[in-house]
Structure 1
Amino acid sequence: MGRASPFHETDGDYRTEKFMEGGSSVLPLYSLQDSLPRLPLPTLEETFARYLVSIEPLADQEEYKATAAAAREFLRPGGLGERLQARLARRSIDRHDSSWLAEWWNKLGYLDDRGPTVFFVSYFYHFSDSPRAAVERTQTGRAAALIHAALLFRRAVFTGRLPPEKVGKKGVPLCSTAYKYMFNACRVPGEAEDRVRLFPAAGNHHILVIRRNRFFVVHVTDAEGQPLSHRDIQLQLQAVVDLAGPAASESAPPSRPVGVLTSWGRPEWAKAREQLVADGNEELLERAEAAALTVCLDDHAPQTRSDVARALWHGDGRNRHFDKSVQIVVFRNGKAGLVGEHSMMDGMPTLRLADFMMKKTMGFSADSSAGSDSSPESWSPVAVTPPRPLDLALSPASLRAIASAEVAFDRLVNQHEMDVLEFTGYGANTIKKFKISPDAFVQMALQLAVFKMTGEMWATYEPAQVRKFLHGRTACVRSLSSAAKDWVLSMEDEGDRRPTPHRLGLLRRAAESHIEYARSAAEGKDVDRHLFGLQRVLAADESCSVFTDPVFSRSKHWRMSTSHLTHEQFDGWGWGEVVPDGVGVAYSIKKSSLLFTVACRRRPEGWSSGLCHHLQEALLDMRALCEHADGVGSKL
C-alpha cells in the first residue's frame, strides 16, 4: 500500500504553517492574511475595571473588598502589574507575524491537555434528515452525498480558490489559518504534549472509512482530487460494507476496535501508539492519519434528537478515529452528522464546510467558488481503485491496551448524560419583536433556568469570535453579571411573580450589559485571555495575590459553558462540560424555534433533563413578561 507522503508537524505555533499560503504567489484564500490587524493587548485599567464588575454576582461583600484591594495593589504604579504588562507587550511585538496569545492558547488549551478529546474537546453537528429519500435515506447513499460535497470543498481549500470569509455589512475579513488543519490532518498523541500532522493533498486523496471497527483506505477522487460521481462513491462504500461483513446483530462480532485507543487519555494513547508502531504498523497508521477525512458507517440507527446527539458525541467509541480533524458519521437509517477535533480549529470554519455540504446535498444553492460537479447519477470517467483494509498487526500488549481503553471509555459514557430540547414556542422572529438581542435573550434564559434548578448563580462562559485578527480564535464573554442576577432574583421573587414593566426593564438592562461585554470581547478586550497572559509571564519567584484569590478561581470555574451556533439544517450540536460540576450548553436560535443540547456528568437529580425542563419554564416566563409588560402580546 505504501507510506503516506511526508508530513509537516506542528506543536501549536501557526507561524510554522505560513508556507502553506502559497509563498510569493499567495493563494486567494490567504490573500488578506497580511492585511489583518493583530490581536490587541488591553490596558490593565480596562481589564481590571471589567473584571471587578464581573465578579460582583459571585462574591460576598468581604470577598469583593479583598479582591478589589488585590487589584489596587496589582495596578500600583511601578508595581507587578506594570512589569507583567511590559513582558506581554514585548511578546506582542516579537510576534508581530502572529499574536501574543495564539501559541499559548493552542498548546495549553488543547495540545497539552492530557485528558481524552472525546467528551471534553471534540464537538459535533447533527445534520437534518435529507429530503432526497430515494438517494440519501440509505446509509451509503447519504454518506456518498456528504463525502462528494466535502471533497469539493476540500479541493477549493487546497487550490486556494475558496475566498476568505467576510462578515458584517462592511465585509470585515476573517483569518483563514484554520483551513490548513481541516483536511489531511490528524492530532498525534504524545506523553507530555500532542502535535498535529499535516499531510499534502497530492498523493493523499483517499479517505478513511471505518465500518464495524475496521479501517479501510477508500479512493473517492481522481488523481487531481476531483471527486468521483455520487454513484461511484456509493459503490465504493458498499464495497466497504461488504468487506466488513454483516451487522453485528446478524453474525460474528466486529473487528478489534483499534479506534477506541483514540478515545483514551493522551499519555495512555501515546504509549499504546508506540506499541502499535513496535508491532510493525507505522505505515498503516500514517496512511490513516493522512486521509483527507474520516467517514464512520455505524451499525446503529438512533431515532430521537437526544439519541443521535449521544451517538455523535461519543457513540460506542469503537467505530471512530477521534484524532482526525473531520469525521462524517452516518448511521444505518441515514441520519448523519460531523465530529470535529478542536485543537487547531474552532467551529466556524467547519460550520462553513457543513453549510456547503448541507446546501449541496439538500438541493439549495451552494457557494460556487467551492466547485461544481457533474450530475450525481453520472459515472466517473476514471478507473476506481477498490477499497483496501488497514488491518493492523496486534500484539498481546496492543490487545490489552485496546481492552483497557474500552473499559475507560465505557466508564466515561456511564458517567455522562445528554439531553436535547427543541423549544417550539417561539424563536428569533418573536424575540426581535421584543427589541432584545436574541443571543442576549437566550443567555438570560439560561441564567434564569439554572437558578430555577439549583437556586444558585453560576459563572458562565460564552465564546466571541476574534478571527478578524491574525491568528485569532475566540475570546471569553462572562455572561453572568450583576444586572443578570438582579433580573433573575426579581423573576423568582416568591412574594410577587406578576410580569411588570420593572422586571422587563431589568431584563433589558441585563441584555444590554451582556451585549456590551460581548462587543468588547470581540474587539480583543477580553478579561480572561488578558489575565491568562499576565499569569503566563509571572516568573517562578514572583507571587501575585490576584491569581491566588479564591474569587479569581471561582469566576473562571465555568459551571455553565455555552455557545451559540445556528443553522436551519441542523437538528442539534454540542460538546461536553468543561468542569466536573458543570454543564455544557450548545444552542441554536432558529427563526421559529430554539434548540438546546445540554451535557454534564450524570447526577441523581438529572441536570441535563432538569435544565431542559427549567429552560422551557424560563422561556415561557420571559415571553409572558415581554408580551404583557410591554403591551405587545396582541401584535405577535
Structure 2
Amino acid sequence: MGTLVARLRLGPRPPPLWMPSGGCGRRLLGAEAGAGAEAGRQYLQRSIVPTLHYQASLPRLPIPKLEDTMKRYLSAQRPLLDDSQFRRTEQLCRTFESGLGKELHERLLAQDKQNKHTSYISGPWFDMYLSARDSIVLNFNPFVSFNPDPKPDYNDQLTRATNLTVSAMRFMKTLRAGLLEPEVFHLNPAKSNTDAFKRIIRLVPSSLAWYGAYMVNAYPLDMSQYFRLFNSTRLPKPGRDELFTAEKEKHLLVLRNGNFYIFDILDQDGNILKAAEVHAHLKYILSDKSPTPEFPLAYLPTENRDTWAGLRQELLNNGNKEVLGKVDSAVFCLCLDDFPIKDLAHLSHTMLHGDGVNRWFDKSFNLIIAKDGNSAINFEHSWGDGVAVLRVFNDMFKDSTQTPAITPQAQPAPVDSSQAVQKLNFRLNDTLKAGITKAKEKFDSTMKTLTVDSIQFQRGGKGFLKKHKLSPDAVAQLSFQMAFLQQYGQTVATYESCSTAAFKHGRTETVRPASVFTKKCSEAFVRAPSQKSTEQLKEMISQCSKYHNQLTKEAAMGQGFDRHLFALRYLAASEGHKLPELYLDPAYGQINHNILSTSTLTSPAVNIGGFAPVVPDGFGVGYGVHDNWIGCNVSSYPARDVREFLQCVNKALGAIFDVLEGKPVRS
C-alpha cells in the first residue's frame, strides 16, 4: 500500500493533495483515433466496468486506537521539543488519554457507527475548508502546470485552448455517462488491469466488487468528489461558504483581459459542440479588442470570504443575479492570458495567482492558457482533494496530445460567433467599485510579498536511489531537513500528506517527515560529517528511509494521528466542551505551525506544481523525484530566504549522493 500514497502539504490551513492517477487502463475507440471523427469525440473511453462500480463496497476509514494516536503524536513531537517540554507534553497526553480524550474517542466511535455512509473525517474536513475566512488565493488554491504539447506547433494558444477544452468536455461526458475507467491502484496490473478481469468484475454486484479487486491486489479509490469537478463553484456566505453545482447547464465561462464571456459548449442534446465551432468561438474571443474593465470583477473572489460574501450580496441586490448565476454554473473557467511565460518563476506566479484580473478563483478549477500555450489548472480546494484534479489533468493531457480535436492548420467553422458568444456585463454601484478597488490594493500588496524559485538536481533520481534500496521520497524529505538545519540551525514542524482515498469518503492523513532519525542524520551531515564514516552515514540514511516508509504506510491505512486528534477536537467544540489542555499546549500549536509544508507529484503530464507557504514564516515546497533528476519549486514570504534554502537543498542532496557513491562528505 505504501506506493499508493500521494504526498502534499498541510498546516493550520487545509492542503492540496496530489495523487497518482493509479495507472488505470485508458482505451480509445477506433472511431476516436484521429482528429475530426466528431461522432466518436464525445467520450474519452468506454469502460466496461461502470465508473462508480466499486463505490458501494469501499472499506470505511478506520478510527485509530487512542493509545496508538498518543504514541504517534509523541514520536512526532520528540525531535521538536527539549526534554522539559517533552515531559510536559507527555503528561498532557496521559491525562487526555485516560480522561476527556477517552470519552471523546468513545463518542466519536459511536457517531461513526451511526454514519456508515461516510467517513468520520469528511464532515469536519468540509467544515474546516468552508468556514475558513482567509482569501482562497495563496492560502488554499494550488496550481499544477501541463508539460508543453510534444508537437511544438500545437502549443499555439488558440490550438491548445481548443484541444484542452474539448478534452476536458470529453472527460466530463465520459464521467457522467459512467464510462470513465474507475480509479484503481493496481499492485499487480498483469492480473487486475486486464480486459479479462474487467469482464469478470463488472458482473460482481457493486456491494461486493471491492473485495473482488482486493483479491487480485487492486485497490479501488473513492470517487465521491468527482461530480464537483464541473459546473461547480464555491459561494461566499457569511461565516461559512456553500458549494453549488448545476449539472444541467451547458455553457463555458471564458475570461480574457478581465472580460467575461460565455457560450454553450454542449448543444441541446447534450453533445459537445463540434471542435471547429469551439475553435471559432475562442478565436472570436481572442480577437475581441475590449480593454480591461476599469473595475475588474475578478478581484472580488480574492478577498476575505466574509468581505466577499457582503459584496456578492450587493452584486445580487444591484441586478446581477442572472449574470452571476452564469458564472457560478458554467462547466469550468477557461482563462486566456495575453502574454507569454518568461521562466519557471514567472510560470509559478502566473498560475498560482496571476494579476487578479483574469481568474475566477471560486470555480472548481480554472484552466489557464498563456499566449505561448503554457497551460495549468488552478483549483479551488473546498470541494475535494487532488485525486480528481490530477485524474482529469492527466486524461486531458493524454487526450489533447494523442488525439487532438484540431490541428494547427485547421480552419474554424464558418459560424457567427458574435451570436453564439455572450459577453457578460455587470452593474456596479459605488459600493461595489470601492470594494473592487480595495480588493485590488490588498491583492497587489500581498502578491508582492511572495517569492518563488526552483532548482533541478541532475546527479540522479528515482533509479539511483532505488538501486540503493532507499525510498526516493524519504531522501527528498531528508534533504529538506538537512537544508533547514544548515540554514536556520533547527528542526521544525514539517508536513507531508498522503491520500486516504482507498477508503470511502477518505480525505488525507499527515506524514510527519521530521523524526528523531532525520534529526540525528541531519546533524551528523551538517555539523560533524567527518566524525562519521561513510558507512555509518549510509546506515543513518537507510534508517531514515525505513522509518519514513513506515509512517507513509500507516498514514495510507488511516493510521496517523493528525486527523484523529482533529476530529476529537472538532467533536469537543461541537459539544460545547472546554478545549482539552492537550490542545492548549504550546507544543500542539508548534507542531501544527508547519514551517516546512511539502507536496510532491510526478506524472508525464506535469511540468511543475506549486502553492504558497501555509504560515508567514514557512516554505511551500513543491517537489518531484524523477527517474534521473530531482526538482524543487519553493515559495516563501519575506521571513524566509528561498534562494538560500534551495542552495542548501542542492548541497544536502549532493552530500547524500556522495555518501551513497562511497565518497567522503565535503563539509
Whole-angstrom CA distance in 1 between matches of 2:576 and 2:398? 53
**1:383 Cα deviation from its structure 2 partner:** 8.7
Deviations 1:55-101 (A, max 9, x none): 1101111111111112222223xx32221111111111121110111
Q: 1:42 aligns with which of 56, 61, 64?
A: 64
Whole-angstrom CA distance in 1 between matches of 2:400 and 2:577? 59
SS in 2 for 1:596: strand
Deviations 1:592-612 (A, max 9, x none): 222222112124xx5222222
- The answer to whether residue 250 in structure 2 is matched with residue 205 in structure 1 is yes
**1:468 Cα deviation from its structure 2 partner:** 1.0
**1:29 Cα deviation from its structure 2 partner:** 2.1
**1:222 Cα deviation from its structure 2 partner:** 2.9
Residue matched to 2:159 = 141
- The answer to whether residue 494 in structure 2 is matched with residue 427 in structure 1 is no
**1:335 Cα deviation from its structure 2 partner:** 1.1
Whole-angstrom CA distance in 2 between matches of 1:495 and 1:422? 24
**1:469 Cα deviation from its structure 2 partner:** 0.8
- The answer to whether residue 259 in structure 2 is matched with residue 239 in structure 1 is no
**1:239 Cα deviation from its structure 2 partner:** 0.7
Distance 1:499 1:182, change over 3 A: farther
Q: Please tell me the residue identity of whatever aligns with 1:145.
A: N
Q: Please tell me the residue identity of whatever aligns with 2:439.
A: A
**1:300 Cα deviation from its structure 2 partner:** 2.4
Q: 1:158 aligns with which of 171, 176, 179?
A: 176
Q: Which moved more, 1:185-194 or 1:578-587?
A: 578-587
Instruction: Name stretches of at least 5 consecutive residues in structure 1 with no aligned partner.
Output: 1-11, 13-26, 246-251, 365-371, 631-636
Whole-angstrom CA distance in 2 between matches of 1:488 and 1:85? 37
SS in 2 for 1:57: helix
Distance 1:53 1:419, change over 3 A: same
Q: TM-score, normalised by structure 1?
A: 0.88
**1:232 Cα deviation from its structure 2 partner:** 2.6
Residue matched to 1:89 = 109
Whole-angstrom CA distance in 2 between matches of 1:91 and 1:378? 60
SS in 1 for 2:527: coil
Q: Please tell me the residue identity of whatever aligns with 2:283.
A: Q
Q: Please tell me the residue identity of whatever aligns with 1:74.
A: F
Deviations 1:212-266 (A, max 9, x none): 1010002333334433344332221111122343xxxxxx555531011111110
Residue matched to 1:74 = 96
**1:547 Cα deviation from its structure 2 partner:** 1.6
Residue matched to 2:590 = 554
Q: Which moved more, 1:58-67 or 1:592-601?
A: 592-601
Q: 1:574 aligns with which of 610, 629, 634?
A: 610
Whole-angstrom CA distance in 2 between matches of 1:235 and 1:592? 42
Q: Please tell me the residue identity of whatever aligns with 2:622.
A: A
Distance 1:494 1:357, change over 3 A: same
Whole-angstrom CA distance in 1 between matches of 2:663 and 2:455? 27
Residue matched to 1:275 = 314
Contact 1:326 1:340 in 2 (8 A): yes
Q: State the aligned residue count.
A: 586
**1:51 Cα deviation from its structure 2 partner:** 1.1
CA RMSD after TM alignment:
2.3
**1:137 Cα deviation from its structure 2 partner:** 2.5
Residue matched to 1:594 = 630
Q: TM-score, normalised by structure 2?
A: 0.84
Residue matched to 2:300 = 261
Whole-angstrom CA distance in 1 between matches of 2:412 and 2:641? 51
Residue matched to 1:324 = 363
**1:374 Cα deviation from its structure 2 partner:** 8.8
Distance 1:167 1:541, change over 3 A: closer
**1:497 Cα deviation from its structure 2 partner:** 6.8
Whole-angstrom CA distance in 2 between matches of 1:186 and 1:350? 14
Matching of residues 228-377 of structure 1 within 5 Å? 228-245=273-290, 253-254=292-293, 256-363=295-402, 377=410
Contact 1:229 1:375 in 2 (8 A): no
Residue matched to 1:524 = 558
SS in 2 for 1:149: helix
- The answer to whether residue 614 in structure 2 is matched with residue 609 in structure 1 is no
Q: Please tell me the residue identity of whatever aligns with 1:90.
A: A
Whole-angstrom CA distance in 2 between matches of 1:133 and 1:483? 47
SS in 2 for 1:29: coil
Q: 2:495 aligns with which of 461, 470, 478?
A: 461
- The answer to whether residue 174 in structure 2 is matched with residue 129 in structure 1 is no
Q: Please tell me the residue identity of whatever aligns with 1:437.
A: S
Residue matched to 1:171 = 218
Whole-angstrom CA distance in 2 between matches of 1:378 and 1:468? 45
Residue matched to 1:223 = 268
Q: Which moved more, 1:274-283 or 1:225-234?
A: 225-234
**1:381 Cα deviation from its structure 2 partner:** 11
Residue matched to 2:199 = none
**1:375 Cα deviation from its structure 2 partner:** 8.2
**1:349 Cα deviation from its structure 2 partner:** 1.3
Q: Please tell me the residue identity of whatever aligns with 1:183.
A: F
Instruction: Name stretches of at least 5 consecutive residues in structure 2 with no aligned partner.
Output: 1-13, 15-48, 188-216
Residue matched to 1:52 = 74
SS in 1 for 2:662: helix
Whole-angstrom CA distance in 2 between matches of 1:235 and 1:429? 46
Contact 1:212 1:244 in 2 (8 A): no
Whole-angstrom CA distance in 1 between matches of 2:74 and 2:56? 36
**1:128 Cα deviation from its structure 2 partner:** 1.5
Deviations 1:185-213 (A, max 9, x none): 0000012110010102x3x2211000110
**1:36 Cα deviation from its structure 2 partner:** 0.7
**1:378 Cα deviation from its structure 2 partner:** 8.4
